[in-house]
Structure formats: C-alpha cells, structure tokens
Amino acid sequence: MTRFWKAGLLAAGLLMPGTALAQVDYPVDTVRVFVPANPGGGTDAGARLFAEFFQKHSDASIAIVNQPAGGGVVAAQSVAEGASDGSVLFFFHAALHTANLFGQSPFSWESFTPLATTSEINEVYAVREDAPFDTVDELIAYAKEHPGELNIGSQLGGTTQVKGEALNQAAGGKMRIVDAGTESDRITALLGGQVDVISMSVANAKQYAEDGQMVVLALMNENPDPAAPEFPTTVSQGIDFSLPLVMTVYGPGEVDQAVVDAFDQIVAEIEADPEFAEALAKQSQAPALRGPEAAAEFLAREYKTIAGLLGK
Amino acid sequence: MVDLFFAAVVHLFEPHILVLVMLGVAIGLIFGALPGLSATMALALLLPVTFAMQPDAGIAMLVATYIGGVSGGLVAATLLRIPGTPSSIATTFDGYPLARKGQAIKALATGMVASAVGGLLGLAVLVGFAPVVARFAIRFGAAEYTALTIAALVLVVVLSESNLLKGLLAALLGLSLSTVGFAPIGAAQRFSFGNIDLLAGIGIIPFMVGLFAIAQIIREITEPGTRVKGKLDLEGAGVRLGEFLANGINMVRSAAIGIAIGVLPGIGGSASNLVAYGAARSASRKPEEFGKGSLEGIYAAETANNASVGGALLPLLTLGIPGDGVTAILIGGFTIHGLQPGPLLFRNEPELIATIYAAFLLATLALLLVQLLTIRMFPRVLLIPRHYLVPVLTLLMVVGVYVGEYRIFDVWLMLGFGVVGYLLERYGFPLGPMVLGFVLGTIFETNMRRALMFANGDWSIFVTRPISATLLLMAAVLLCFSVWNLLKARSRRQTVS
C-alpha cells in the first residue's frame, strides 16, 4: 500500500505546474476542463497542450477531466449548467454539432459560451493504392459509372459522416456511406478491402501514403497542411468545402465578463508564444487560435456548413 | 529483427532503466490488483511523468506499467475472489478455491509462473512474426468479427459451465445489458428512460466491480465462514517442476488462444482468459476438478491473459492500431516520445521497435521477480479480520469507480450490480458468460450491422466468407453437441427414475 501512495505522491509532484512567466490574471485559481474523449487521442492531446500553455500564460492551474461517455453528452451536461466564474470549461470539436444534429445530444454550441478555438487537425480522403482512381475527379467519374458500388467508410453519427456526405454530394450521391467506426477501424476496413474511401488524419495518412499502401485524394481544407504540403486540397480540386477538426473551448451557458476578457488576453499571449506551434506540430496539429468573439463567429459558420451538408 | 532485439536488451540493461522498469511494473501491479483501478489509469497517470525522460527510458517504463497492470489482477482474484481486471475473471474460478484450501502461495506462484510463460510466448510471436500476423489480422473484417464473437460466447458457455441453460441465460443477460444507451451505429436511444446518465450506457468498470467485487463483499458480510480457517500454510510448496511440465501443452494452447484473440483489435484479454479456460477444461483429463482449485485452470487463465499483451502490441506497432483503451494511451505515450506507430515504423525505425520488445522482455522478467519477492506478503490478507478488510475494500472500490469518469452515477450502478451479482451467483447463474456477453455485445452488434451495410443487406456475407463460415460452423456444432448431451443425460435420468 505504501508503495502506491509513494507512487501517487511522486506523480503528483511531477505533475505540478511550473512557475509561470508573464501571467494574465484569471478570475479563479483552479479550472476543470471536461474533455469528452479518452486519454491518448487527438482531442485529449489538444486539450492537454492547451492546458499547458494556459497555465504558462495565466495564474490559474488546470485539471483535465476525461468523460468520454455517451459521445460527449455526459461531459456537456457537466459543464452546460456549471458555475459562471470560469472554473468549469468544456473542450470539444465539431462532433458537438453532429451529435446535436443527429439527435444524440440536447446540447448545441449555443448551449455554451464560446471562449476560444485552439488548434486544428486536418483530415484527408484516402483510398487503397491499387484503387482505379488517384484524384478526386477520377473517383467521381468512377462512382458515376458504377453507381452504388463504392463504399465510403465513416463513423455514422460523427464528424466523418459529414465528410462522407460532402464527398458523396460531389459525386451526385452515387456512392454509399457505410459505418466503419473509429479511425483505426476505418484504416483496417480500407486496407482489408471492405470499404473504398475513408477520411483519416494527416498524421496517419502520411505514413500509409509513404509506405505505398494508400493514395491520398484530397486534404479537406482551403490551404495545404504545413506538415504535408504534398497533399492537394479539396478546394484546389473544385470541391468547395473546408472541414478541419477545430478544437474549441467553451464555458457554461452563462459566463462572467471577466472570464471572457481574461480569455481574450490569454489567447493573445499564447498566439505570441512560438513554443505553442512547436508543441502542436509534434502531435500533428496546427495552431488555430481565436478569441471569444472570433470563436463564436467561426462556430456559427461551422455549424451552418455541417447542417447544410446533412440537409438539416 | 532478432539480432536488433538482443542488442536492444543489452542497451536497456542500464541501472536507471532497470529501476524505472521495476517501478512501472510495481505501479501497474498495484493498479491492476485494486478493483476499480485499472492499467488504463496507471498509464494515464504515468504518461506525463515520462515526458521528461529519454525516449527509451520513457517507453520502457510505459510498457512495463502496461504489463504490470494486466498481471495485477492475479493477486486479488486468487486471494479475495475479486478480479482486478476482466483479464483475470477465470483466475478466480480455481485460484480462489485453491487459496481457501490453505494453498494460497501455491495458487499465486502458479499464476505468476504462468503469467511469465504467457508473456514470453506472446513476445516470441511478436518478435518473430509481427508483420506476417498483422497482414492476416487485417483480413479480419466485420463478418469475421461477428462470427468470432458468437463462437467465443458459445465456446465459453458450453465448455466452461456445468449448467448449459443458465450459462446461456447469463450470456444473453450480458448481451442485453450491453445495449443500454445509444446504439453503437446511429442515434437510437435504448433503455435510457430519458436519463442522460443511462444514455451514456453502462461502463465496464462499474459493471465488473459491482458484479464481482461488491457481490463478494455482500457474501463476506452475509455468509459466515467464507474465510480461511485455521493456520494458513504460508511456507507451503510453490510450483513443482512436474506440474509445470505436465501443463506444457495446456500453456502452449492457452498462449495461442491469448495471442490470437489479443491480435484482434477490440476483443483482447477479457475474452481470452475465459476462452482458454474453457478450452483447457474440455481438453483436461480431470474436468471435474475445474472450479475446485485445479492447477490446470490457473495455468490456462494466466498464460492466456499475458499472452494477449504480445498479441495486442502487434497491430499497435505494425499498423498503429490500438486494440483497447490501454493501448490507445500507450500510442499517445509513444507519440509524445517522437514515435508514430504505423506501417512506416517497422521500416524506418527498427531500433525503436527492438527497444519496445526489449522493454517487454525486461518487464516480464521484472514482473516475475517483483511478484515472487512479494508473494509471502499478500496471503496475509486472508488473515485480516473482515471488519477491517470489508470497509477498506469498499472504500477503494467507490473511489476507484468514481475517478474512472468522475460520475457519482457509476457508483450507484456499481452497488446495484453488486446485488445483481450476488443474487445471480446464489441461484447458480455463472458470471463469466455474462461478462463476456457484455464485453462482446457491442462488438457483435457493431460488426454485424457493419457487415450487413458493406454487403448491402445481404445476410449471406456471414457464410460466404471462409473464416466467418468456419467460425459459425464451429459454434453451431459445439452447441448442437452439448444440447444433444443434455437431452441424452435427461432421458437417462428419466429411464432411471
């Protein structure tokens, strides 16, 4: 037993935030950030990096609370009606919109107060190396000649279903969108020949493309990803949409003005810190910093795009 | 790969790395042993600690913690009949009865040796054949997963339980419970009664801890005389060479089952120990001893769950595909140390792969060492008066379950399942098939629906794909065979009366 407590103390000591530099005054000392994802994935990594830099540039310390249950609905519930003093925050991405649009969650982005967007993960459409198409145009032409034959592997009810819909609409609805689960499951399903197109993160796609197992058709963004400039964008191939996975920080429905002001400053401080981009690059994420106002504008646009693609 | 592997072993043989590996194993063991805490939590806690380390030291420590966490279930399963993780459910079947006979040391030592053998066999397959096996694992599609979950359930119900009907009912109950909450595909809400907490479904940790640990607490309180009476044989003989050799085939078979199931992302150790236990029982010359302290049962369960570790690391390293929550965190840890698991890793950085393998080897040996050094401490738990033991254990469980997702709802769920587990056991319903049904339920449902989607609604996909057809046929034959046995036994009884 004693060893257990020693280990705990050791870990707690090492986890203590270091003394910070130029610090913004945050209304409360400790902040709990609810993350609706398991530790270890992209969302969690984004949250932890944001927490690190938030602590560096403010006088508050952050505890990350992982509540993956129910695809985010539990974490959303924990925060939506929480205290308005900035002590509980919610960290998520466009899956908040899709869960709401598909009726999986009563919470929409408007149930919260947008405080910031922090980073983004780009995704691509990938196909098997031996597929009879290497570009988006070839894929669309093939789909139109063979209606109903091609499967797009997505996670139904998630953001990748939206990405599947976007591609399918470009092909006149000639493909079928099937469920192939999480990114890992989709990769296996694609390589195993069960589906024909998947969306996946740039970090994984780079590996499989370089290894010669997959061909990347398009990066779903207006601008090329700095980590993978070789991937052509959707926009450059005439499909007019941009859907990076943007990490967003929300406060509860009601938030004190002091919190919003503090966030304005903290986001500006982080933006000026070159180490943030470096740390993100290690996780294959890119900075996408927006303060409270810009974040709200962005979310309204993002929600509209997704609702439009889903015909809702 | 083999020569690189040995070079890496030598490289890791540095005092500070060895200390970290020992520490990782010990932390993992403790988290695995305490009900409610898990290897996942141990890794999540240690992950930030390893940031500051050199990559090889950090990776070695993470791998060691993972292996410790998987093996930690042994002690509590054997001594208290509380499996710390789903991987050690089958260990309670024979480890606990043996410990209650006063042979706690023997039960523990057997489990420890079996764990080490399982770990080493898993490692051997990983080092020798990883890329080949990975290519095979990828062919395992939705239809194959569906068939495999059916086969595994049938196998466990039929082979390891004496009462076929109650076993089937328990498995079906587990399957039904796995449907609570959102459907895994689409947005259908099931059995949620408009409650957001239920929408999220039933968590595996409150389910498991309630069913086994809380139920055991209720038994401790209500049933007098479940404690070991008289003098505990702390000196007692450990493992005998003869017994070890006699279980050679058993261990190889169990390890093969453990690796094969571990390789498939999503199923893992929770199924492999039960399946290996069932297989060992049906192959045994003394199946009647199973459940009463059979060494064969302990060998099977503990070899299989540790062999699964080697299996689970295989798709992780070759394809970057994590099989479960623990390996997902492990991937996160690897990424932070600049190692992106995926198809390129093998080609570009074989040295790093070899480092992971070497860490695996060191951790398995460290595990055996730590366990054998501490073996005489643990059985004293059996001598602690229950009015001290019960409150402490209950407190640990409540805290452990709460910190999993920071939800009080989970604590109530756990207590509720405690009552359910107690009643089911009392009326002779086996809990193994129920847990397996629960664990495999979501995998079964998701893959069946996916397979049908891929095939445009054509059910023949399950019988036209060879692996899937074979597995289904196997399940059907097994089920028919045991139903036939059941009917034969019944008609014999009738003629006698």
Q: What is this model's ipTM?
A: 0.78
Q: Which residue of B has its CA nearest to A71?
A: B200
Best-predicted range by mean pLDDT (A10-19, A80-89, B282-291): A80-89
Closest residue by Cα to residue B306 from B489, B488, B149, B121:
B121
Q: What residues contact residue A205 under an 8 Å CB cut-off, 6+ apart?
A: A124, A126, A214, A216, A228, A231
> Is the pLDDT at A13 greater than 50, yes or no?
no
Q: Which residue of B has its CA nearest to A11?
A: B49
Cβ atoms < 10 Å from Cβ of B11: 14
Cβ–Cβ of B142/A176 closer than 8 Å? no
Residues from chain A that touch B347, judged by Cβ atoms under 8 A, are: 211
Sign of the dihedral defined by the CA atoms of residues B423, B427, B428, B430, in that order: negative
Instruction: Please identify which residue in the block is written with the tokens 């103390």.
Output: A9
Distance from C-alpha of A218 to C-alpha of A202, rounded to nearest angstrom: 10
- Kindly give the pairing relationship between strand A123-128 and strand A197-201: antiparallel
What's the whole-number mean pLDDT along residues B62-85? 88
Helix extents (H) in B178-285: 196-199, 204-208, 215-222, 241-246, 248-263, 269-283
Distance from C-alpha of B78 to C-alpha of B91, rounded to nearest angstrom: 7
> Is the pLDDT at B275 greater than 70, yes or no?
yes
Residue A11 is predicted with a pLDDT of 46
**Residue pLDDT, tens place only, B368-417:** 999 888 888 888 777 788 888 889 889 988 988 888 888 899 999 999 99
Alpha-carbon B453 to chain mean position: 31
> Is the pLDDT at A8 greater than 50, yes or no?
no
Distances (CA, A) of A312 to A178, A222, A304, B184: 20, 24, 9, 22
**C-alpha angle B222-B228-B234 in degrees, rounded to nearest 5:** 150
Cβ–Cβ of A73/B45 closer than 8 Å? no
Q: What residues contact residue B26 under an 8 Å CB cut-off, 6+ apart?
A: A3, A7, B68, B370
Residues from chain A that touch B344, judged by Cβ atoms under 8 A, are: 207, 210-211
A197-201 β-sheet, strand order = A176-179, A151-154, A197-201, A123-128, A214-219
Cβ–Cβ of B196/A70 closer than 8 Å? yes
Cβ–Cβ of B182/A188 closer than 8 Å? no
What's the pTM?
Answer: 0.84
Residues from chain B that touch A283, judged by Cβ atoms under 8 A, are: 335
Cβ–Cβ of B454/A195 closer than 8 Å? yes
Distance from C-alpha of A201 to C-alpha of A199, rounded to nearest angstrom: 7
Distance from C-alpha of B437 to C-alpha of A289, rounded to nearest angstrom: 45
* A63 Rama sector, left if φ>0, alpha if ψ -120 to 50, beta otherwise: beta
Residue B230 is predicted with a pLDDT of 45
What is the nearest CA distance from A71 to chain B, expressed in angstroms? Answer: 7
Alpha-carbon A86 to chain mean position: 22
Residue B237 is predicted with a pLDDT of 60
**Residue pLDDT, tens place only, B294-320:** 999 999 999 999 999 888 888 888 877
Cβ–Cβ of A192/B140 closer than 8 Å? yes
B374: its two tokens = 């501490």
Q: What residues contact residue A124 under an 8 Å CB cut-off, 6+ apart?
A: A199, A200, A201, A202, A205, A216, A217, A218, A219, A220, A231
- Kindly give the pairing relationship between strand A151-154 and strand A176-179: parallel
What's the whole-number mean pLDDT along residues B85-107? 88
> Is the pLDDT at A219 greater than 60, yes or no?
yes
Residue B235 is predicted with a pLDDT of 56
> Which one of A66, A151, A211 has the shortest CB-CB distance to B344?
A211
B16: its two tokens = 């500070």
- H/E run at residue A34: strand A30-35
Distance from C-alpha of A27 to C-alpha of A264, rounded to nearest angstrom: 13
A229: its two tokens = 């400039």
Distance from C-alpha of B101 to C-alpha of B104, rounded to nearest angstrom: 8
**Residue pLDDT, tens place only, B412-457:** 999 999 999 999 999 989 888 898 899 889 889 999 999 999 988 8
